Amino acid sequence: MPAMKVALAQLSYIPGDIAYNKSKILNALEEARRQGADLAVFSELAVTGYPPLDLLLRSDIIDSSMAAIREIATHCNGIAAIVGGPSPNTGEYGKSLYNSAFFLQEGKINAVVNKALLPTYDIFDEDRYFKAGNTFRPVELNGQKIAVTICEDIWDEQPFGDRGLWRLYSVAPLDEIMRQHPSLIINIAANPFSHNRLRVREEVFVRNAREYRVPLISANQTGGYTELIFDGSSVLIDSDGTIIDKLGFCTEEVRTVEIPSPGTHRSSLSFPPPLPDDMTGLIHRALVTGIRDFFDKGGMKKAITGLSGGIDSAVVTALAAEALGPENTLALLMPSVYSSGHSVSDSVKMATDLGVPYHIVSIEDARQALEKTLQPFFAGKAPDVTEENIQSRLRAVILMAFANKSGYMLLNTSNKSETATGYGTLYGDMAGGLSVIGDLYKTEVYRLAREINSHAEIIPQAIISKPPSAELKPDQLDTDSLPPYSQLDPVLYRHIDLEWPADRIIADGFDKELVEKVIRLVRTSEFKRKQTPPILRVSSKAFGTGRRIPIIAVRS
CA distances from 362 to 309, 344, 355, 368 (A): 14, 11, 22, 11
Largest CA distance in the chain: 90
How far apart, in whole angstroms, are the C-alpha atoms of residue 88 and residue 66?
9
Residue 271 near residue 252, CB atoms below 8 Å: no
Q: How far is CA 554 from the centre of its chain?
A: 30
Residue 372 annotated as catalytic:
no
Q: Which of 22, 44, 442, 541 is catalytic?
A: 44
CA proximity to 32, closest of 48, 24, 50, 146:
24
Residue 80, H or E segment = strand 80-88
Residue 480, H or E segment = none
CA proximity to 111, closest of 141, 131, 91, 134:
141
- Show the CA angle centred on residue 499, arms to residues 494 and 503, nearest 5°: 70
Residue 145 annotated as catalytic:
no
CA proximity to 255, closest of 2, 28, 26, 12:
28
Q: Which of 151, 297, 442, 471 is catalytic?
A: 151
Total residues belonging to the chain: 556
Residue 483 near residue 513, CB atoms below 8 Å: no
CA proximity to 11, closest of 273, 262, 293, 203:
293
User: Which letter does DSSP use for residue 496 in this model?
Assistant: I
Q: Which of 22, 24, 76, 115 is catalytic?
A: 115
How far apart, in whole angstroms, are the C-alpha atoms of residue 147 and residue 138?
5
Residue 46, H or E segment = none
Residue 513 annotated as catalytic:
no
Q: What is the per-residue DSSP string for 19-38?
A: HHHHHHHHHHHHHHHHTT-S
CA distances from 21 to 18, 45, 50 (A): 5, 10, 11
Alpha helices in 140-213 (DSSP H): 173-177, 198-212
- Show the CA angle centred on residue 50, arms to residues 45 and 55, nearest 5°: 90
Backbone φ/ψ region at 298: left (φ over 0), alpha (ψ -120 to 50), beta: alpha
Alpha helices in 355-384 (DSSP H): 364-378
Residue 257 near residue 268, CB atoms below 8 Å: no
CA proximity to 224, closest of 440, 534, 7:
534
Residues designated as active site: 44, 115, 151
